[in-house]
Structure 1
Amino acid sequence: MFTHVKSTIRHIAPEDLRGRHLIKVVYVVLESQYQSALSQAVRVINKNHPNVAIEISGYLIEELRSPENYEEFQKDVETANIFIASLIFIEDLAQKVVEAVQPHRDRLDVAVVFPSMPEVMRLNKMGSFSMAQLGQSKSAIAQFMRKRKEKSGAGFEDAMLKLLRTLPQVLKFLPMEKAQDARNFMLSFQYWLGGSPENLENFLLMLADKYVLKNSHTPDCASLQYDAPVVYPDMGIWHPLSMTMFEDVREYLNWYNSRKDISKDLQDPLAPCIGLVLQRTHLVTGDDAHYVAMVQELEAMGARVIPVFAGGLDFSKPVDAYFYEPTTKSPLVDAVISLTGFALVGGPARQDHPKAIEALKRLNRPYMVALPLVFQTTEEWMDSDLGLHPIQVALQIAIPELDGAIEPIILSGRDGATGKAIALQDRIEAIAKRAFKWANLRRKPKLQKKVAITVFSFPPDKGNVGTAAYLDVF
Structure 2
Amino acid sequence: MKQKRTSVAKTDSPLRVVLVTLDNHVSGAWSRAALQLSSQAPSLNVSSHAATEWDRDPAALHATRAAIAEGDIVIVTMLFLESHIEAVREALASRREHCDALICCMSAPEIMRLTRMGRFRMDTEATGALALLKRLRGGGDKTGRSAGAQQMTMLRRLPRLLRFIPGTAQDVRAYFLTLQYWLAGSETNLARMIAFLISRYAGDTHAVIRDAMSYEPPLEYPDTGLYHQRLPDRITDDPKLLGKAAKKAVKGTVGVLLMRSYALSGNSAHYDAVIGSLESRGMRVIPAFASGLDARPAVKAFFMDRGEPIVDAVISLTGFSLVGGPAYNDTDAAQEMLEALDVPYLAAQGLEFQSLQDWESSSVGLMPVEATMMVAIPELDGATGSMVFGGRSERSAGEKFDMQPAPERIGRLADRVARLVALRRTPVAERKVAIVLFNFPPNS
**Aligned equivalent of 1:352:** 330
Q: Describe the shift of the 1:217–1:61 C-alpha distance in structure 2 as closer, same or farther (beyond 3 A).
A: closer
Runs of 4+ that moved beyond 6 A? 149-155
The CA deviation string for residues 330-358 of structure 1, in whole angstroms up to 9 with x for no partner, is 31100000011011111100111111111
Distance, in Å, in 2 between the alignment partners of 1:435 and 1:297 is 11
- Selected match of 1:301 from 281, 291, 297: 281
Show CA shifts across 1:16-42 (max 9, x none): 995365211222211312111111111
**Could you give the per-residue CA deviations for residues 235-282 of structure 1, whole angstroms, max 9, x where no partner exists?**
1111111114332435533x35xx7xx5xxx356xx400000000111
Give 1:34's aligned amino acid: V
How much does 1:68 deviate?
Answer: 3.4
- Report whether the alignment pairs 1:140 with 2:131: yes
Give 1:229 deviation, angstroms: 1.4
Counterpart amino acid of residue 168 in structure 2: K
Q: With structure 1 as the length reference, what TM-score do the two structures score?
A: 0.83
Unaligned runs of 5+ in 2: 1-7
CA contact 2:68–2:92 (8 Å) conserved in 1: yes
- Decide which of 48, 52, 63 is 1:62's aligned counterpart: 52
State how far apart, in whole Å, the 1-side matches of 2:140 and 2:400 are.
Answer: 34
Measure the CA separation in 2 of the matches of 1:343 and 1:322: 18
The reply on whether 1:243 has 2:232 as its aligned counterpart is yes
Query: For the structure 1 residues 150 and 77, does the alpha-carbon distance in structure 2 shift closer, same or farther, using more than 3 Å as the test?
Result: farther
Residue 232 of structure 1 is matched in structure 2 by 221
The corresponding residue for 2:187 is 197
CA offsets 1:260-306 (integer angstroms, 9 cap, x no match):
xx5xxx356xx400000000111111101011111111111100011
User: Offset of 1:75 from its aligned partner?
Assistant: 2.1
Instruction: Give the direction of change, closer, same or farther, for the CA distance of 1:282–1:459 in structure 2 (3 Å limit).
Output: closer
> Are residues 1:45 and 2:34 paired?
no
Matching residue of 1:374: 352
- Matched AA of 1:401: E
Q: Structure 2 length as normaliser, TM-score?
A: 0.88
Deviations along 1:209-239, one digit per CA (max 9) or x if unpaired, are 10014x4585674352112211111011111
2:404 partner SS: strand
**What is the Cα deviation at residue 92 of structure 1?**
2.1
Structure 1 residues 43 and 362: alpha-carbon distance in aligned structure 2, compared to 1, 3 A threshold: same
Matches within 5 A, 1:92-241: 92-133=83-124, 137=126, 139-146=130-137, 148=139, 160-167=151-158, 171=162, 176-213=166-203, 215=204, 218=207, 221-241=210-230
Instruction: Show CA shifts across 1:191-211 (max 9, x none).
Output: 112222221111111111100
**Aligned-partner Cα distance in 2 for 1:300–1:17:** 51
Change (3 A) 1:168 1:112: closer
**3-state SS, counterpart of residue 19 of structure 2:** strand
Q: Secondary structure at the match of 1:222?
A: helix
Paired with 1:37 and 1:217, the residues of 2 have a C-alpha distance of 25
1:436 to 413, 418, 422: 418
Q: Residue 233 of structure 1: SS of its match in structure 2? A: coil
- The CA deviation at 1:316 is 1.0
Instruction: Report the residue type matching 1:373 in the other structure.
Output: L
Unaligned runs of 5+ in 1: 1-15, 463-474
Aligned residues: 428
Instruction: Say if 1:35 and 1:419, in contact at 8 Å, map to a contact too.
Output: yes
Which of 275, 278, 293 pairs up with 2:255? 275
Q: Counterparts of 1:153 and 1:125 in 2: how far apart (Å)? A: 32
Identity of aligned residues (%): 33
Instruction: Judge conservation of contact 1:373–1:414 (CA < 8 Å) in 2.
Output: yes
1:324 partner letter = M
Corresponding position: 1:362 with 2:340: yes
Distance (Å, rounded) in 1 between the aligned partners of 2:9 and 2:213: 17
Does the Cα contact within 8 Å between 2:335 and 2:381 map onto a contact in 1?
yes
Code of the aligned partner of 2:253: C
From 377, 381, 384, give the equivalent of 2:362.
Answer: 384
Tell me, yes or no, if the aligned pair for 1:372 and 1:411 is still in contact at 8 Å: yes
Contact 1:149–1:159, Cα closer than 8 Å, also in 2: no
CA gap of 1:31–1:394, structure 2 versus 1, over 3 A, is same
